Amino acid sequence: MKAYQLRFYPTSRQRKQLAKEFNACWYVWNWALRTRSDAYKACKESLTVRRMGIKACGLADKPEACLV
């Protein structure tokens, strides 16, 4: 397997946009982790990817999500 290492130098505007994108990814990841953990603790139920996707559809409407 071959690996490539890249370096890039984003502009100030690109850095701001990348920060927004990474923040959105971080929020969704933590939301999904918390949702799955809560479901398992409450019902000993493991949520499927499909059910998580259905639940995630409402994330964009939440102001605390701050999604891009």
Can you tell me the distance from the alpha carbon of 60 to that of 68, in angstroms, rounded to the nearest whole number? 9
Nearest 5°: phi and psi at 54?
A: -65, -45
Q: Give me the amino acid identity at 59.
A: L
Can you tell me the distance from the alpha carbon of 67 to that of 59, in angstroms, rounded to the nearest whole number? 8
Collect the ranges in the chain with pLDDT lower than 70.
60-68
**Tokens standing for residue 63:** 């102001």
pLDDT of res. 67? 52
pLDDT of res. 3? 94
pLDDT of res. 46? 82
pLDDT of res. 54? 74
Global confidence as pTM = 0.65
Which residues, 6 or more positions from 63, have their beta carbon under 8 angstroms from its beta carbon? none
